[in-house]
Amino acid sequence: MHAYYPLLLTGGIIGFVSVVLIVAYASIKDKKQSMGFDRYMKDGEIVRRLLRYAKPYRIQFIFVGFIMLIGIAYDILSPTIIGKVTDLIKDDFELKELYRLVAAYAGILIVSMVCVYVQAIVLQKVGQKIISGMREDLFTHIESLSHEQMNATPVGKLVTRVTNDTNAISLMFTSLLVNLIKNLFVIIGVLAAMIALNYELTLMVLCFVPFIVLFTMIFRKFARRAYRRVKDRTTDINTYLSENLSGIKITQIFNREDEKLRDFTEKSLGLGKAKRDQILVFGIFRPLVYVLYISSILCLFYLGGKGYLDGASFLGQTLNAGIIVSFYMYINKFFTPIQNLAEQFNWLQSAFASAEKVFTIMDIEPKLRDAPDAVELDRVRGEIEFRDVWFSYIPGEWVLKGVSFHVNPKDTVAFVGATGSGKTTILSLICRNYEFQKGEILIDGMDIRKIKTASLRKHFGQMLQDVFLFSGTIRSNILLGLEGVDDEEIMAACRYVNADHFIDRLEKGLDEPVRERGNNFSAGQRQLLSFARTILHKPEVMILDEATANIDTETEVLIQDSLEKMMNIGTMLIVAHRLSTIQHADNILVLSKGEIVEQGTHRQLLEQRGKYYQLYTLQFEKEKLKQKAGGS
């Protein structure tokens, strides 16, 4: 039997050397990633960023670690107790000793179960708090992105990051990290117990370690790739659903259901293939680990059984049935956490892939940032000035070219021109929804880049053509979270803009439910609600961007009356295609291809017989034709 000793010793040494070489290879690979050869994050970076969220709860995690160490006593001690029971039954049977061993086994089992229960409760509570904080940070970061960045990012992608990906990460804090550490401690404790019991048989087990580590490193590489593909395909399908469910009416109107189904099926099959690849990687890895486990058991039975039968000794150490039984259980305890590690590693790769996606969004630098010396704006008179402003959405393709104009406080200024002339862009720049490239924009003589963005926007009220209403009630859509406002103030704002005409007819009044995007109200009713919302927030500058477009005649009368009232509140900036709605404006700016070509009052521009005169005449002729067609 001593002939086996050099073989086992060599195998054990090879096992440790293989682990060192593989870890060295992994560190070199990570270094390449950090130098920019791979666009993905390193595991170490992901773990560090995730642990920042766990830092406030370190006391709870330390407590869980203490409970965990107590709980693994069962895994370490139970095989030894079973081995002693085996020897006790085989040799001189002592009932008292049997009772003592059984009581010890039961006590350790109960303590272990209690520890597992307490550990699970604490981790679930802490884990959900951590993920809740991460979701809030992610949502807050998304809110800080500029309009340009939001337009470039599909909504479905952002929804997937906030929901699916954070759910995958939550497993790390509720179970994965602690169980990974627990399994590592179990493996170390089992190895220590095996060495104390019989170090030669332990060398035999170590011969299988390099294969386990090698398989794990290979699995790590392919599993991460597989999970990345799954996350990408999931994002694709969520983005597609978000867009196409929003536009389902267009799909039905143009009878394109079959084409959309083909596109969806293609994306669904892509997700299915990515899932199969992921399952295949895990389906190969775990059976390989199980094969190593069975091989080690066979070696134990052969070497241990042969040594026991040949002389009750093995490589100089005494062997008995209890040692062989204990070793059998220890090998099971050694490989079970490794197999658990395989499954946990599988989920860990999913969590890491999700964390990459989440941190990719969080690493997007907002294009609009407040200057370090930016100030709060307590009050606004409403004086606005553009000085030689240039702006482009795409570098080199100027939308505004040297635009300059001045708006006096409480003036009503209108912007007219063909589609694409830059009207809406001017209004967006005033609110700093986009950053202009050249020139200056002043509010009350102060550069808007020296004002905190939130403070600046607080003084603006925007009423757009496409009114967005949130699911909820009329009250919640008017308030938008504004506190300290009672129903009388809300209804006063509604009466001011004539929204009370239809609200009073509703069964529940201000508590009337608003469905998604306000589709249970007409376009005119939604616009009146947006007017009431704006008035209630008491802005000093009001912006109307095609707010009177697509409105029925009856509602237009109410809106015109509302506009005349609002003109007395503060500065008003209007973009309108219906020139009849801006005849009383203090100044009208006519834009063409990003430049101001004319400006003046309605009467002055008509007398010039220029661009505005052409637009007005053309629109007037169209109105006459409509009236004639209606009369006939």
pLDDT tens readout for residues 459-491: 888 887 778 888 889 999 898 888 888 888 899
The number of angstroms, rounded, from the C-alpha of 226 to the middle of its chain's C-alpha atoms is 20
Secondary structure (3-state) at 150: helix
Task: Tell me what percent of the residues of the chain surpass a pLDDT of 90.
Answer: 11
One-letter amino acid of 493 = A
At 6-22, the pLDDT tens digits run: 555 555 555 544 444 44
Both tokens assigned to 350: 């999913």
CA dihedral 451, 455, 459, 461 (to 10 degrees): 110
Cβ(137)–Cβ(102) below 8 Å: no
| CA distance linking residue 110 with residue 114, whole number of Å | 6
In this structure, are strands 587-592 and 595-600 parallel, antiparallel, or unpaired? antiparallel
User: What 8-state DSSP symbol labels residue 500?
Assistant: H
Cβ(619)–Cβ(579) below 8 Å: yes
At 255-272, the pLDDT tens digits run: 888 888 888 899 889 888
pLDDT tops 50 at residue 360: yes
Cβ(43)–Cβ(352) below 8 Å: yes
Where do runs of H (alpha helix) occur along 312-387?
321-362
Where do runs of H (alpha helix) occur along 173-256?
177-197, 199-206, 209-246, 248-253
State mean pLDDT over 219-247: 79
Cβ(454)–Cβ(433) below 8 Å: no
Q: Among positive and negative, which fits the CA dihedral 404, 408, 409, 414?
A: negative
pTM over the 0.75 mark: no
User: What 8-state DSSP symbol labels residue 42?
Assistant: P
Name residues whose C-beta falls within 8 Å of residue 227's C-beta, 6 or more positions apart in sequence: 278, 349, 350, 352, 353
Longest dimension (CA), the chain: 122
pLDDT tops 60 at residue 577: yes
Residues β-bridged to residue 363: none
| CA distance linking residue 91 with residue 626, whole number of Å | 111
φ, ψ of residue 589 to 5 degrees: the values are: -105, 125
pLDDT tops 80 at residue 289: no
| CA distance linking residue 319 with residue 312, whole number of Å | 5
* 385-424 per-residue burial string, b: 16 or more CB within 10 A, e: under 16: bbeebebbeeeeebbbbebebebeebbbbbbbbeeebbbb
What integer best gives the mean pLDDT of the chain?
A: 79
The number of angstroms, rounded, from the C-alpha of 613 to the middle of its chain's C-alpha atoms is 51
| CA distance linking residue 43 with residue 33, whole number of Å | 10
> Which domains, ranges and CATH numbers included, belong to the chain?
51-362 (1.20.1560.10), 373-459+572-626 (3.40.50.300)
Cβ(512)–Cβ(473) below 8 Å: yes
User: What 8-state DSSP symbol labels residue 375?
Assistant: B
Q: Among positive and negative, which fits the CA dihedral 115, 121, 124, 125?
A: negative
pLDDT tops 50 at residue 24: no
pLDDT tops 80 at residue 595: yes
Q: Cβ-count burial of 32 within 10 angstroms (0-12 exposed, 13-18 middle, 19+ buried)?
A: exposed
State mean pLDDT over 536-552: 76
State mean pLDDT over 138-152: 84
pLDDT tops 60 at residue 29: no
CA dihedral 244, 248, 249, 250 (to 10 degrees): 40
